[in-house]
Amino acid sequence: MSAVVVGHKNPDTDSIVSAIAAADLMSKRGVPSQPFCQGKIPPDTAFVLGSFGFPAPELLGPLAGKKVILVDHSDRGQAPEDLDQAELLGIFDHHKLGDITTSTPLFFWAQPVGCSCTVIKGVYDYYGVEIPRNIAGLMLCAILSDTLIFRSPTTTDEDRKAAKELARLAGVADYEALGMEMFVVKSAVTGVPARELLFRDYKDFTMNGQKVGVSQLEVVDIKLLDGVRADLRQAMTEAKAEGRHTIMLLLTDIMKEGSELLVLSDDANLAEKVFGAAATDTTYSSGNKNKGVWLPGVMSRKKDVVPKLEAVFK
Ligand code: MG
Ligand code: MG
Ligand code: MG
């Protein structure tokens, strides 16, 4: 029976592609493995899979009695609900250490880099395993996606180096152009239900016993979101009423290199506590009551938002 390789809930390109790459690597290392996903494939990921002729991984089923490898997360909140009924073989990740524990020894490949695929590329190299051309193309796109084409503060030299080598393996000449194509697909939000947009790239955290949700939409031009802001506000109100202390939405403009922050919280001063005076700037919102505040340089949930939020909740 193959081991199951799976990324986090509300999957992104890195979670899907890391599952595919890790399953290939593990299979070639003598552990037959198969990639799965924990939810709907987002449009930009579908574009990436299509570009390199790869089928979408199947939706994950029950884990009882199976062997599992996790990618792109190590916390229970992001993992399959029945993870405890499986044997966890190992983890490939690039996030802060989560709260998953095991009763058997495991491998754990983790690095503070911009993308899980950068970690997996390093493990392919470590074992001298060749990366197939189409998987190299997928991994390149995952790095471009997670690092916002190297603009995110999470980007490291290792990510740039890995992307360059993967582009060569995949035969992609202009990979920044490929990244822009992918983000243009990701930016097409018209006609998509607001709740789906809100939960597309969404993570719930437990902070000092409170449920705190942080969502992010990454687009090539924030003006593309003008038509959906009011509906997003409404979706946030509904999501908050489902038992959350706080719900934050980052509308990230990858070209302007900053994010508009929308926040609903039981703590009316939360945004100011987290982001300081910048979060009270009302000049940005004049004329549109649904607009939030513009935070220059805020690009990464992982680096710019979650640590500061946790510090406030402590
Ligand atoms: Mg991810
Ligand atoms: Mg990732
Ligand atoms: Mg992301």
pLDDT score recorded for residue 285: 75
Q: How far is the CA of 275 from the centre of ligand 3 (A)?
A: 20
CA–centroid distance, 138 to ligand 1, in Å, is 14
Is residue 43 within 8 A of residue 181, CB to CB? The reply is no
SS (H, E, C) the chain: CCEEEEEEECCCHHHHHHHHHHHHHHHHCCCCEEEEEECCCCHHHHHHHHHCCCCCCEECCCCCCCEEEEECCCCHHHCCCCHHHCEEEEEEECCCCCCCCCCCCCEEEECCCCCHHHHHHHHHHHHCCCCCHHHHHHHHHHHHHHCCCCCCCCCCHHHHHHHHHHHHHHCCCCHHHHHHHHHHHHCCCCCCCHHHHHHHCEEEEEECCEEEEEEEEEECCHHHHCCCHHHHHHHHHHHHHCCCCEEEEEEEECCCCEEEEEEEECCCCHHHHHHHHHHHCCCCCCCCCCCCEEEECCCCHHHHHHHHHHHHHC
> Are 93 and 242 found together in one domain?
no
Q: Show which of 165, 185, 205 is a domain's final residue.
A: 185
pLDDT at 176: 94
What is the distance in A from the centroid of ligand 1 to the CA of 151? Answer: 16
Same domain, 219 and 177: no
Whether residues 256 and 163 fall in one domain = no
Q: How many domains does the chain have?
A: 2
Is the domain of 150 the same as that of 225?
no
| Helix 43-51 × helix 13-28 angle, to 10° | 40
Cα of 78 vs centre of ligand 2, distance in Å, is 12
Residue-level pLDDT at 280: 84
| Residue 312 confidence (pLDDT) | 96
- Minimum-distance ligand to the CA of 7? 1
Ligand nearest to the CA of 143: 2
User: Domain of 204: which CATH number?
Assistant: 3.10.310.20
Short-list 148, 168, 171, 143, CA closest to 158: 143
Question: Same domain, yes or no, for 160 and 202?
Answer: no
Tally Cβ neighbours within 10 Å of residue 34. Answer: 17
Distance of CA 177 to the CA centre of its chain: 21
Domain check: are 168 and 305 in the same one?
no
Is residue 222 located within the same domain as residue 158?
no
**Do 148 and 220 belong to one domain?**
no
Question: b vs e for 244-283, b when ≥16 Cβ sit within 10 Å of the residue's Cβ?
Answer: bbbbbbbbbbbeeebbbbbbbbeeeebbeebbeebbeeee
How many A from CA of 94 to the centre of ligand 1?
9
Q: Which ligand lies nearest to the CA atom of residue 15 in the structure?
A: 1
Give me the CATH number covering residue 137: 3.90.1640.10
Same domain for 170 and 203, yes or no, is no
| pLDDT one digit per residue (tens) for the chain, 314 residues | 899 999 999 999 999 999 999 999 999 999 999 999 999 999 999 999 999 999 999 999 999 999 999 999 999 999 999 999 999 999 999 999 999 999 999 999 999 999 999 999 999 999 999 999 999 999 999 999 999 999 999 999 999 999 999 999 999 999 999 999 999 999 999 899 999 999 999 999 999 999 999 999 999 999 999 999 999 999 999 999 999 999 999 999 999 999 999 999 999 999 999 999 888 887 887 778 888 999 999 999 999 999 999 999 99
Q: pLDDT tens, 56-80?
A: 999 999 999 999 999 999 999 999 9
Distance from CA of residue 171 to its chain's centroid? 26
Lateral strand order in the sheet of 67-71: 58-59, 33-38, 3-9, 67-71, 87-93, 107-110
Name residues with Cβ closer than 5 Å to ligand 1, which is an ion.
12, 14-15, 72
Tell me the residue range of the domain where 235 lies.
194-313
Question: Whose atoms come closest to the Cα of 201: which ligand?
Answer: 3
Q: Residue 207's beta-bridge partner residues?
A: 210
**122 and 75 in a common domain:** yes
